[in-house]
């Protein structure tokens, strides 16, 4: 039977048993999604691919810590969050978007927002959110995580996910000047 039909947790069980092809199947299944995650979190394509690679290596190294009772993608994206945080600490290449947004008047200055080009690129708008808010948006809107799963990945209460999502969308709405253009 093809490994494609196996669930993630079944594949992880096989990985623990030393089955390389199960690990390969997991990588193929999730590599594009992980790349998308890192790209949307602000990494360049090559950096995103390096990070995705790093996450899969950690997945292999931590394979014994995975419990089938936990959802695999929650486990994988927890590793992804840590890998990204580590790389940011090492390279400090990516700007701390949160610092930008708090000192930039773009979000708080309503007049400025109204003058902003409504055609601002979606990724640029996302880049202007703080790290915390952007993470919630990316996991929810792009990666399709439920709020409780995001809470698990980020290690925060469910209510905090909800409030961050609201704040993030409020800021994006202002940045993109969505008012009167929805439809």
Partner 1 sequence: MSRKQPDNIEDGYNCLWQAMVPSYIQGELSEKELVQFEDHLGGCSACQVYVAEVRHLIRQFQKTLPGPLTRDLVPGILERIPQDAWTQDTSPVLPRRPRLFHFTKAAACLLLALASAWLIFYFSGRHERSLLPDTERQAHKKETVSRESQVVAQALDWLAKVQEPTGAWDGEKWGGQRNYTVGLTALALLSFLGSEQVPAHGPYSDTIDRAVNCLLQQQNTEGYFGPPHSGAMYNHGIATVALLEVYRLTKDTKLKIPLDRAVKYIRTTQTADGGWGYFGGFIDSANTSISIWQLHALILANRVGWESTKKNIEKGLAWLKTMINREGRVGYSGPGDFPYGSETLTAMGAFCLFASGYEGKNSVEKNTRIKRSLKDIASKQGRDIDYYQLYFLTYALHAVEEGQPDRHMPNVQKALVERQIKSGPHSGSWEPSDRWSSAGGRIYATTMATLSLEADQRAAKIIGWMRGTY
Contact 96, 155 (CB under 8 A): no
Query: How many other C-beta atoms lie within 10 A of the C-beta of residue 44?
Result: 12
**Considering the complex, what minimum distance in angstroms separates the CB of residue 115 from partner 1?**
19
CB-nearer residue toward partner 1: 33 or 106 = 33
CB-nearer residue toward partner 1: 154 or 165 = 165
Enumerate binding residues for partner 1 (CB under 8 A): 2-5, 8, 16, 18, 20, 24-25, 27-29, 31-33, 35-36, 39-40, 45-46, 48-50, 52-54, 56-58, 60-64, 73, 122-123, 126, 137, 140-144, 146-147, 162-163, 165-166, 169, 172-173, 176, 178-179, 181-183
Q: For residue 93, which of 136, 50, 126 has the smallest C-alpha distance?
A: 50
**Cα–Cα distance for residue pair 115/117, rounded to 1 Å:** 6
**Considering the complex, what minimum distance in angstroms separates the CB of residue 169 from partner 1?**
5
Q: How many residues does the chain have?
A: 183
Which DSSP state fits 5? Answer: G
């Amino acid at each position: 039977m093809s490994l494609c039909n196996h669930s993630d947790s079944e594949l992880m069980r096989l990985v623990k048993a030393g089955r390389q092809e199960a690990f390969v199947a997991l990588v193929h299944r999730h590599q594009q999604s992980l790349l998308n995650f890192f790209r949307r979190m602000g990494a360049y394509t090559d950096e995103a691919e390096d990070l995705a690679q790093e996450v899969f290596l950690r997945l292999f190294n931590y394979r014994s810590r995975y419990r089938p009772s936990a959802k695999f993608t929650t486990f994988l994206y927890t590793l992804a969050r840590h890998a990204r945080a580590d790389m940011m600490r090492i390279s400090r290449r990516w700007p701390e978007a949160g610092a930008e947004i708090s000192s930039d008047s773009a979000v708080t200055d309503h007049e400025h927002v109204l003058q902003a080009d409504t055609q601002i690129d979606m990724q640029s708008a996302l880049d202007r959110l703080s790290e915390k808010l952007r993470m919630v948006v990316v996991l929810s809107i792009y990666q399709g995580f439920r709020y409780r799963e995001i809470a698990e990945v980020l290690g925060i209460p469910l209510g905090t996910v909800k409030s961050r999502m609201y704040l993030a969308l409020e800021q994006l709405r202002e940045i993109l000047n969505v008012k009167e253009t929805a439809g």
